[in-house]
Amino acid sequence: MSNSLDSYLILSGLLFAVGTFGFLARRNAISMLMSIELMLNAVNLTIIAFGAFEPALHTQASVIALLVIAVAAAEATVGLAIVMAIYRNRKTPLVDEYDAMKE
Amino acid sequence: MPIGDTLPFTAIRWDDILFVALAVTVLGSALLVVTMRDIIRCGLAMILCFASLAGIYVVLGNPLVAAAQVLVYIGAISVLVLFAIMLTQTKNAPTRLVFQTQAVAAAVAAATIGVVIMATVLATTWPAGSSRVWTSTSDIATMLFSQYVLPFEAVSVLLTAAVVGGVLLARREPAARDEDRP
C-alpha cells in the first residue's frame, strides 16, 4: 500500500476536499486561512508523491515542493496581516459580518 | 538487533503500517481543524496534521522536504496562526455559530471534489515506477543552486516583499491614532 502512487494521490485528494469544505463553510477568517494551508499541503503531497515514483521528476519535484513551501509562508504572512487589519477596523473575525461593501 | 521488512510472523510491511497510521492521523486531524468549535484547538490539530504529513514525506523517502515542513509549517506558520487567533479571539466567539449558512452546500461541493479526484486517480494508469526511490539531499542542493537558482532568488525577493507588506498592512497608522484622541 505504501508502495503505490494511488494511495498517496487519494490521500492528498481527500485532504484537499477537507480543506475545500473548511474554506467554504467556516465563518472565522483565520479558520479559512488554516483551510487554505491544508489545501496547499495536499498539493505539496501530490508533488512529492509524483517525484518519488517518477524517475524523471525525481529531484525537480523536491525543489518545486521547497519553493511551494516558501511561497505558502509568504501567503500566510500577508493573509494574516490582512485579517489583523480588518479585525482592527471591524472588531470581529467572522467573515459574514464584513458587509461594508454590500450596500 | 535489526528488524526485518515485515511485522514478525506476518506478511504486513512496516512501511504499510506507518503509512496507514500517518494517513489516518492526517485526515482525522484535518477533519478536526475544519469542524471543531474552539479555534485554538483547531490550530493545535493543524500542527498535528502538518507533523504527520512530514512523517508521510519521510515514508516517501524525502527527508529534506520533511525537515522543511517541520521548520516552516510547524515552526513558523502554525505559530503565526496561533498568535493571530489569540489576538482576534473574543470571549463569546466559541459559543456562536461555527459554520456559515451554506455549510450543507459546501459539504456537497467538497465531497464532489473528493469523489472526482479519487475516481480520476483510480481510472488513470500513471506512467510511473512501481516503487518509490529515496531522494538524496545533495542532488536537491545541486539542482536548486544550478538549474533552479533564478526561482530560488525570486522566492527570496518574494519573501522579503511579503514581510515588508505584512508589517505595512498590520501596523497602525499614526495619523489615525491621532484622530481617535479627544
What residues of chain B lie within 8 A of the CB of A44, using their CB? 53, 65, 69
Q: Which residue has the higher pLDDT, B173 or B21?
A: B21
Structural domain that includes position B28:
1-94
Interatomic CA distance for residues B141 and A63, integer angstroms: 8
What confidence category does residue B71 fall into, taking pLDDT thresholds of 50, 70 and 90? Answer: very high
pLDDT at A44 over 70: yes
What residues of chain A lie within 8 A of the CB of B61, using their CB? 52
Judge: A54–B15 Cβ closer than 8 Å, yes or no: no
Cβ-based neighbour number of residue B164 at 10 Å: 11
Judge: B114–A17 Cβ closer than 8 Å, yes or no: yes
B107: in domain:
no
Domain boundary among B71, B94, B117: B94
What confidence category does residue B91 fall into, taking pLDDT thresholds of 50, 70 and 90? Answer: low
What residues of chain B lie within 8 A of the CB of A43, using their CB? none
B93: left (phi > 0), else alpha (psi -120 to 50), else beta? alpha
Q: Which residue has the higher pLDDT, A32 or A95?
A: A32
Find the helix or strand (DSSP H, E) in which B128 lies.
none
Domain boundary among B94, B109, B127: B94
B128: in domain:
no
pTM: 0.89
- pLDDT for the residue numbered B110: 95
Judge: B131–A74 Cβ closer than 8 Å, yes or no: no
Q: Count of CB contacts below 8 A, A vs B?
A: 258
B8: in domain:
yes
CA–CA min distance A41, chain B (Å): 8
Q: Do residues A48 and B57 make contact, with C-beta atoms less than 8 angstroms apart?
A: yes
Determine the distance from the C-alpha atom of residue B125 to the mean position of all C-alpha atoms in its chain, rounded to a whole number. 27
| % of chain B surpassing 90 pLDDT | 58
What confidence category does residue B134 fall into, taking pLDDT thresholds of 50, 70 and 90? Answer: confident
State whether residue B38 sits within 8 Å of chain A by CB: no
- pLDDT for the residue numbered B96: 66
CA–CA min distance B94, chain A (Å): 10
Tell me the CB-side half-sphere exposure of residue B62, using CA atoms within 13 A.
32
What residues of chain B lie within 8 A of the CB of A71, using their CB? 155, 158
The domain locations on chain A are 5-97
Q: Which residue has the higher pLDDT, A59 or A1?
A: A59
B120: in domain:
no
State whether residue B99 sits within 8 Å of chain A by CB: yes
Which residue of chain A has the CA closest to B26?
A: A15
Which residues 6+ apart lie within 8 Å of B47 measured at CB? B74, B78
Which residue of chain A has the CA closest to B140?
A: A59
Judge: A83–B88 Cβ closer than 8 Å, yes or no: yes
pLDDT at B174 over 70: no
Judge: B100–A55 Cβ closer than 8 Å, yes or no: no
pLDDT tens digits, one per residue of B20-64 = 999 999 999 999 999 988 889 999 999 999 999 999 999 998 999
Judge: B135–A58 Cβ closer than 8 Å, yes or no: yes
Q: Three-class SS of residue B162?
A: helix
Find the helix or strand (DSSP H, E) in which A78 lies.
helix A58-90
B18: in domain:
yes
Amino acid found at B44: L
How many domains in chain B? 2
Q: Enter the DSSP assignment of B72.
A: I
Tell me the CB-side half-sphere exposure of residue A18, using CA atoms within 13 A.
25
pLDDT at A78 over 60: yes
Amino acid found at B2: P
- Between the ranges A2-11, A59-68, A82-91, where is the mean pLDDT highest? A59-68
User: If you count them, how many residues does chain B have?
Assistant: 182
- pLDDT for the residue numbered B21: 95
Domain co-membership, B6 together with B89: yes
Mean pLDDT of the residues in chain A:
89
∠ CA B100-B91-B106, nearest 5°, is: 15
- pLDDT for the residue numbered A94: 82
Domain co-membership, B82 together with B142: no
Interatomic CA distance for residues B112 and B120, integer angstroms: 12
Domain co-membership, B90 together with B4: yes
Packed helices B78-88 and B39-59: angle between N→C axes, nearest 10 degrees: 170
Mean pLDDT of the residues in chain B:
86
Compute the average pLDDT of residues B141-146.
92
pLDDT at A14 over 80: yes
pLDDT at B92 over 80: no
Compute the average pLDDT of residues B148-171.
92
Fold of A5-97: Helix Hairpins (1.10.287)
| % of chain A surpassing 70 pLDDT | 99
Q: Do residues B49 and B69 make contact, with C-beta atoms less than 8 angstroms apart?
A: no
What residues of chain A lie within 8 A of the CB of B18, using their CB? 2
CA–CA min distance A100, chain B (Å): 18
